[in-house]
Amino acid sequence: MLGGGSNLVTQDSFVRTGADGEKRPAVMLYSAYNQVGGNGIAGVTIDGDNDAFIAVYASETDVEITGSGDVYGGVVAKRIDMSGSGDIHYDEALATVTLGKEDDSLEPSHMLTWWEVIGD
């Protein structure tokens, strides 16, 4: 959970190229939490007056974003619940990053597609 008045920011570029030549987000949150049914408990929560420069990959759980802070990067979730005046600003550089491992582990290797979702 990111909460309160904290800010998660990066210097320079949001996407970094590692020594192996792979492009990765500067800050990546990967949640393996598997939300079963509609228990109402989000696996990832960002609230308060946070500005977060982060790529969130939480495909098996809800992500709850509340308050007035903005998310700069991207969010992959089972469901996104947004309230308050914050926004998600998708960083197009995320389309070029490598996430996780190349083997058969549960972690994703590449994010194939990002979608912009506009709520009500």
Residues of the chain below pLDDT 70: 1-13, 37-39, 98-120
Q: Is residue 82 part of a domain?
A: yes
The residue length of the chain stands at 120
Q: Is residue 110 part of a domain?
A: no
* Tally of domains within the chain: 1
Q: Is residue 116 part of a domain?
A: no
Angle at 73 (CA atoms; ends 30, 18), nearest 5 degrees: 70
Q: Is residue 70 part of a domain?
A: yes
Q: Could you list the residue range(s) of the whole structural domain that residue 46 is in?
A: 15-96
Q: Is residue 78 part of a domain?
A: yes
8 Å CB contact between 55 and 11: no
Q: Is residue 90 part of a domain?
A: yes
Q: Is residue 119 part of a domain?
A: no
- Residue labelled with tokens 């696996």: 43
8 Å CB contact between 51 and 79: no
Per-residue pLDDT of 14-36, as tens digits, reads 777 778 887 777 788 888 888 77
8 Å CB contact between 55 and 27: yes
8 Å CB contact between 14 and 62: no
High-pLDDT (> 90) share of the chain, %:
7
